[in-house]
Chains A and B, each alone.
Chain A
Amino acid sequence: MIQIEDLQPILTASEILTELAQFPGTQVPYLLLGPEADPAYRDQTLQLSEARVGSLVFINDLLRSIGQPVSAIDQLQLTLTLPFTVPPTRVRELAQCMAAFNQRLQLGNFGMNGQNLAYFRYHWLVFERQFSSKSLLTAIRLAYQQCSDFGPRLEALASGQIQLASAID
């Protein structure tokens, strides 16, 4: 069965920067997708690139590490962290804006974690971890593309530069 580290050469061959890491205090491996990971979006993501990092992890690896049962259908979780935190006063508007964007996204969804850090995430259901390199690269590129398309508006709304209506428009 394919392991997370097996994806590294596929991504490297496509000039997507990766680093193999482990979740703190566990043996669970994941791939860190570096800033400016995809050369196709390097220019577009210049504004966000400094802080935009992502991760790839098989959820079954996490479940096994805490003794939970796993099924043949695993999830490859792709997360891209957007480079801003939402001020508490703007969380409600950001939630509205993300909901509007999430209806339009081809893949995945935007969200905010408990510390109001904005992220994009896609949980990809994969049967026995069988998927093609092409599909994997499509998912990652699409994720970056969507962050490039929608991320700046989320960031501008979070900073108060634009209003909700113009962010969604």
Chain B
Amino acid sequence: MSIAELEAAGLSPLAYFEQALRRLNYAVAYQPQHNSQPEQLLVVAGKDQQGQKIMARLRLLTIESECNPEQESLPVILENLMVLPQTCSLSQQADLNLLACIFNRSAPIGAFFASSEWGLCYRYQQLSESAWISLNIIVNTLQQMLATSLACLPYFNAYLAGETISSLCQRLESEAIPSDDSD
């Protein structure tokens, strides 16, 4: 179906992505707009080494820009928030964010962070001319974020299991996670 046909059928982009991702064997749940909550798509992106589900929340956001004097229509952003199954306490957040900062240097897209609201997360925002974003891009994003998460999770887990942050930082310097110092 063309985009015009999908729109004529009353299908929103996220509702369409639900069907398309389901056809690619993703477990997906579409949640329409409800009160102040925008519509969103919940996707099981994969599982961690312990078999726990790694969920991604996809939302379409409009750009809030001070630099749009002509009030022209702006591109949109597809926010992908991957929530990792690790739970962390408030006192662990600072160390986890320090680790996140190290991983973010070499993350191919997006950034990790730890927050009291979400716990350990990985977030990427895809800028797009239209809300009908290429499915290739959406799947590629999910795959890259999952792969990056799985590469970094053992280090986060090691910290949560009691390894000190200084020991982890030393390990990171000598192990496979590269540090991008080109900035």
Q: For residues 64 through 106 of chain B, which have their beta carbon under 8 Å from a beta carbon of chain A?
A: 64-67, 72, 74-75, 77, 93-94, 97-98, 100-101, 104-105
Bound complex: CA A134 to CA B76 (Å): 11
Specify which chain A residues have a CB less than 8 angstroms from the CB of B179 in the assembled complex: 113-114
Given contacts A95-B100, A115-B181, contact A125 B93 (CB under 8 A): no
Q: Give the docked Cα–Cα distance between A130 and B134 (Å).
A: 11
The answer for the CA separation of A115 and B179 in the assembled complex, in Å, is: 11
Quick check: is A142 within 8 A (CB to CB) of the other chain? yes
- Chain A residues positioned under 8 Å from B98 (CB to CB): 91-92, 95
Q: Is the CB of B115 within 8 A of A141?
A: no
CB of B113 within 8 A of CB of A102, answer yes
Contact A125 B141 (CB under 8 A): yes
Q: Do the beta carbons of B94 and A95 come within 8 Å of each other?
A: yes
CA distance A128 to B121 in the complex (A): 29
Interface size on A, residues (CB 8 A): 48
CA A72 to CA B68, docked complex, whole Å: 31
Interface size, B (range)? 35 or more
B interface majority secondary structure: mixed
The A103-150 residues at the B interface (CB cut-off 8 A) are 103, 105-109, 111-115, 117, 119, 121, 123-125, 127, 131-132, 134-135, 138-139, 141-142, 144-145
A96 and B111 contact, CB distance less than 8 A = no
- Contact check, A111 vs B129: say whether CB atoms are below 8 A apart: no
CB distance from B125 to the nearest CB of A (A): 5
Say whether A51 faces chain B, with CB atoms less than 8 Å apart. Answer: no
When distances are taken between beta carbons in the complex, the residues of chain A under 8 Å from B64 are: 106
Chain B: CB-nearest residue to A140: B67
Is there an interface contact between B104 and A109, defined as CB atoms closer than 8 Å? Answer: yes
Whole-angstrom distance from the CB of B75 to the nearest CB of chain A?
5
How near does chain A come to B59, taking the closest CB pair, in angstroms?
12
A81 at the interface (CB under 8 A from B): yes
Binding site for B on A (CB under 8 A): 23, 38, 40-41, 59, 71-73, 75, 79, 81, 91-92, 94-96, 98-100, 102-103, 105-109, 111-115, 117, 119, 121, 123-125, 127, 131-132, 134-135, 138-139, 141-142, 144-145
In the assembled complex, 20 residue pairs joining A and B whose CB atoms fall closer than 8 Å, in A order, are A59-B108, A72-B136, A73-B137, A96-B93, A96-B97, A98-B101, A100-B113, A103-B121, A106-B64, A106-B125, A107-B77, A107-B125, A108-B125, A111-B101, A111-B104, A112-B101, A134-B72, A134-B74, A134-B129, A141-B67
